[in-house]
Amino acid sequence: MDIHVLTRELHVRNDSKIVFYIADGLGGLPQQPGGLTELETAQTPHLDALAKQGISGGSIPVFPGISPGSGPGHLALFGYDPIKYLIGRGALEATGIGFELREGDVAIRCNFCTLDGAGKITDRRAGRIPTDESAPLAVKLREVSIPGIEVFVEPVKEHRFVVVFRGQGLEGHVHDTDPQQTGVPPLAPKAADPGSEKTAQICVEFIKQALKLLAGQPKANGLTLRGISGKPNLPSYEEVYGLRAAAIAVYPMYKGLARLAGMDIVGKPQTLDEQMELLAQNWKDYDFFFIHFKYTDSTGEDGDFAAKVKRTEEFDAAVPRITALGPDVLVVTGDHSTPSMLSSHSWHPVPTLLAAKNCRTDACEKFGETECLRGGLGLFEAKYLMPLALANAGRLTKYGA
């Protein structure tokens, strides 16, 4: 079910303000059976108050059992079907380092590797070469010159870097050149469809020149191309919801995902405090605000229960700065669960609350995984949060007569 089929037709404009306050990886697990999760352990008086006056539930990012990455997790929150709109790995990597992809660009995740005298791979990750040694090599590859094509090369971390081709007639369906094993040469770039033949040829030329530039380098003298992909073609928030949307995020990945959905990236905040300042400063200029808080995820990934509890309390403490502005609809949730007991993203439903004047509240007294189970939103697919928010903001008209 693509919700945009209806929201595109039914949305109307008004002066309401919608805020999505997102704690990445919010959901968790107890440390022992019958115990409390990170969120249930944390002191969250402001979130509890919102849960009491609002409506709660558990959101399922993709479908039951599926642990999403940041891409599908956020797309679902933004109302884009995470199965229909798959962001290619190259495009996501470019987005993640803040590269602003344009229509028609092709993005590639590249790995440095080592090759023997016969051109066979000896180490697929070039011994996980340190970033301070790999970055200059990536920068050196900017010397590659291909007529009619702009070539961008951006260092990432360790053996990874990103390449973007910009030019006419490029499509992104080219197979990986990483053979996934050592003792064989990298594969030749091969188009998966006729429209991507030109891109494949450019890949061949890029590799040829890159190998010359890397020749004799002791740490990394080869490269592989992976996740070759075009800019994902998401309809914009303006088009499908009629919303002027702003993203207030610290990390490039989330700014990038928001930009793909047509949101404006507001400021360059480094702290939650600065994010809240930007929210107040931009309050009049936008209809929708996406505020991203990273540390509930990173502490979960670290397996640090206590730190996640602390970060959750920090997230809670900033709530009054949002409510002081009087949003018409405030949604608090995460893009997925990251239980510190698993040190990874997980499939568990994400605690979610929506506070708005006419939300029809439920019996929930606080904000937590178990309490959400008796909430009025029930268990629901995350992509339905956007139409619920629009409806509560008075921004959706009746469907059918």
Interacting residue ranges for a second copy, rule: CB under 8 A: 1, 3, 5-6, 10, 29, 33-34, 37, 53, 58, 62-73, 82-83, 86-87, 89, 92-93, 96, 339, 341-342, 344-349, 358, 360-363, 369-370, 373-380, 384, 386-392, 396-401
User: What is d(CA 166, CA 157) in angstroms, rounded to the nearest whole number?
Assistant: 23
User: What is d(CA 146, CA 107) in angstroms, rounded to the nearest whole number?
Assistant: 16
Element (H, E) at 371: helix 369-372
Q: Decide: helix, strand or coil at residue 38.
A: helix
Residue type, 232: P
Secondary structure letter of residue 249 according to DSSP = -
Are residues 339 and 72 in contact, defined by beta-carbon separation less than 8 angstroms?
Answer: no
User: What is d(CA 37, CA 31) in angstroms, rounded to the nearest whole number?
Assistant: 7
Reduce the secondary structure of 301-349 to three states and give it as a string.
HCCCHHHHHHHHHHHHHCHHHHHCCCCCEEEEECCCECCCCCCCCECCC
Secondary structure letter of residue 80 according to DSSP = -
Which residues does residue 248 pair with via DSSP β-bridges, in sequence order? 291
Are residues 239 and 92 in contact, defined by beta-carbon separation less than 8 angstroms?
Answer: no
Residue number, 7 or 44, with CB nearest to a second copy: 7
Residue type, 129: I
User: What is d(CA 309, CA 274) in angstroms, rounded to the nearest whole number?
Assistant: 22
User: What is d(CA 266, CA 282) in angstroms, rounded to the nearest whole number?
Assistant: 8
Minimum distance from residue 9 beta carbon to a second copy (Å):
11
Element (H, E) at 107: strand 106-115
Minimum distance from residue 29 beta carbon to a second copy (Å):
6
Tokens 């990394």 found at: 220
CB neighbour burial string for 140-174, b if at least 16 within 10 angstroms, e if fewer: ebeebeeeebebebbbbebbbbbbbbbbeebbbbb
Instruction: Count the Cβ atoms, other than its own, within 10 Å of residue 316.
Output: 22
Q: How is residue 136 written in tokens?
A: 């200059």
